Every structure is written in structure tokens, then in C-alpha cells.
Amino acid sequence: MFVCRLQRMMLSMNKSLHVVIMYILVQLGLIFFLYPGEIIESASAGHWLPIVFGFAVYLFCLWLYLKGMSWGGKKDIVDLYGQLGTTVSAILLAPVFMYFIIQIIVTIRAYSEIMSIVFLSNTPLWAIMLLLLAVPTYLANKGMRTIFGAGVLVACFGLPLVLFITIASFQNVNWHYIFPLVGENVDFFTKASYYRSFFVYTGSFMFLGFVQPFYTFRTRSVIVTALCLLPMLLCAVYVPILTFGEATAVTLFFPFVVTLDVIHINWLMFERVAVFFLLSLISMMMLLLALTLWQSVRIMRQFIPRIPVSCQLIVIAAGIFAVCLSIPNIESVQHLFSWNLYVRFYLLIAVPITVYFLGHRAKKEAQHEKTAAGR
């Protein structure tokens, strides 16, 4: 009995570890690019305040979401909404599907610009976008377990490298730039850039509601992992500020990426560590795109079950690629990023609340059935 219980416990920990690793990867793939610029733009001093406040809101919403899913049994979010009927579930899931598609478009277009600037300047932009879309589409077609397996490989090589380069990025900081710790006007609530910064949260935790049939995990493990990400958020924002000063950092489009270009490590044989950092984060981003594509197809299958998964993926990918080609410049990407703001907060606030109450209702129904069966 003891051996069997130990084996079940180890299996549960193994599945939780897979989910935690994927959660870390998709978060890190989003933190270091657009997020620092949005936070630096939203406040002239005391940038830790908007970071901590936004993180606290996210942590509470994440807890609601995970608690509701844990009460819902082994159902994913699509099945949980499906209990409300086809029409209601379609209304609730339509904004989620729309956000997923826009997130993929914005991510591919923005990252292709970064890759073109940093190390693929002679490669046509359409070729970079095709690569960034083809690999996630292939992984999504293979399924959730293949995506998670690829995540373990990316974590083994990418996480130590990201951690090392993040620590090395402090070599040029001037700690005097950290002051004042609190600005005269705490007005980040009035800045649109602050609300845009919440994208770093909304796209990364939704997959936790889709993995239930495949991977079981403990809510506590994810919450503890989320707490460990707060130092990375602070580093992503404060390293550019402490290196260049707030007045210069606010003018940079990718502040953290620019900071990496001034890192010089004598004993390292490679001159540009930024290239390896970006390659690691792009591999993490591809996992996020694969997860997002898989989730989009999961929603589509709920309402169009007769079309094969591969055909649905091809249609979605072709549509996304066509839209990416029609976006002329990075400024248009920012406009699309801003238009997605309301849907972003729907995912961050409305979805966790509805999942919490639906999970609570499912829990009470299960208790009533258990009580009735006992009688």
C-alpha cells in the first residue's frame, strides 16, 4: 500500500512539474520584450509600484482561476462552460478565441521585427514570420503532450542561460538611478501604457484551464512559481533604468534588449550575449504560440467538431499569416495591441470569476450526488 501511494504521489509531482515548467517558460517568453517599455512609460519614478500592484491583481485572478478549475474536476474550461449550453458557452468563449488569434498575430509580428533587427537583418520579414508560425503549428498539430515534452527540452537549455544573462545584465547598473523610490505623482493608473502591460499576464495562464484532462497539477505549486516570477518582472524593468537612467530608458522601444548589447564578459568567447538570450526567449515564445494555437483549435472543436484538427489548424495559421503580411510596420502592431485591451481584461478578470463560480457549482453538485448516493 505504501509503495503504491508513493508511486501515485511521484506521478502527481511529475505532472505538476511539467505544468510548472511550461508556466515558467511561457511567462519568461513575454516578460523581457514589450513589458519593460510599457511600465517605464507609465511612471516617471517608483516603477516598483505599478509592477507590484499589477502582479497582486494577477495573483488574485490566478488563484480564482485555479480554484475554480480544481473544483470542476477533470474538466477543462471548454467543458466547464459547456454546462451552460451551446449559446452561452459560445458567447463566453468567443472573446477568448479572439484574444488568442490577436495575441498570435501581435507576437509573431513583434518578434519577427526583433529577430530582423538583432541577427537576421538580410532575411525577408515574411520568411521570419513563416518560421515563427510553422514550428508552433506543427507542435500544436502533434498535441498537448508533444508541446510539454518540447518544453522540458527548452527548459534544460534555455532557463540556465536566461538566468545567467539576467544576472550578468547588472554589471553596468548605477544604483543611484533607483531613487526616488516613490514619485511625486502616483498617476500610473491614468496611463494607457500601464493597462497595456497586463498582456504579460493574460496570455500566459489561460492554458492552465485546458490541460486538466492531460495533466493534473496542484494549485499551490503554480502559485509558488508565480511568486518566483516577481523578481524577473522587477529585473526586466529596473535593469534598463539602472543602466541608462529613466530619461533615456523611456525612449527605448525594447529597453531590456538594448541593455544586453552593452554587456561585456571577458572570459566569454561570444561577443553578443543578446543573441543567445533572444534565441532562448524565442524558443519559449514558440511554445506559447503552440499552446495558444492548440487552445484555439480546442475551442473551435467544441462548436465545429466534424472538421479535422489539422484542417482547422491550417485555416487558422493561413489566416494569421495573411494578417501578419498585411501589417505594414511596428506602429500598426502597437495599434492592434491597444485595440485588444478590453478583451485582455475580460480574460484577466471575467474568465477567472466565471470559472470560480462554475467550479463552485460543480463542487456542490458533486457533493449532493455523493450525499444522495450515500442514502
Domain harbouring 206, CATH code: 1.20.1740.10
- Give the three-class secondary structure for 250: coil
Query: Which residues neighbour 70 within 8 Å (Cβ) at sequence distance 6 or greater?
Result: 219, 359
More confident residue, 179 or 130: 130
Q: Which residues contact 285 (CB under 8 A, 6 or more apart)?
A: 29, 30, 107, 111, 132
Position 373 scores a pLDDT of: 67
> Is residue 353, in this structure, part of any structural domain at all?
no
Residue 175 domain flag? yes
CA angle 15, 283, 64 (to 5 degrees): 45
pTM: 0.90
Can you read off the three cell numbers belonging to residue 209? 484551464
**Spatial distance between the Cα atoms of 310 and 298, rounded to a whole number of angstroms:** 12
In a domain, 365, yes or no: no
Answer yes or no: is 26 within a domain: yes
**Whether residue 9 has pLDDT greater than 60:** no
As a whole number of angstroms, the distance between CA 330 and CA 323 comes to: 14
Residue with cell string 488574485: 60
- How many domains does the chain divide into? 1
Query: Do residues 157 and 280 touch, judged by C-beta distance below 8 A?
Result: yes
Q: What percentage of the chain carries pLDDT values higher than 70?
A: 93
The least confident of 102-111, 265-274, 286-295, 341-350 is 265-274
Residue 255 lies in a domain: yes
Q: Is residue 371 part of a domain?
A: no
In a domain, 6, yes or no: no
Q: pLDDT class for 8, splitting at 50, 70, 90? A: very low
State which residues form the domain around 160.
12-341
Tell me whether residue 220 is in a domain.
yes
> Is residue 235 a contact partner of residue 138, using CB atoms and an 8 Å limit?
no
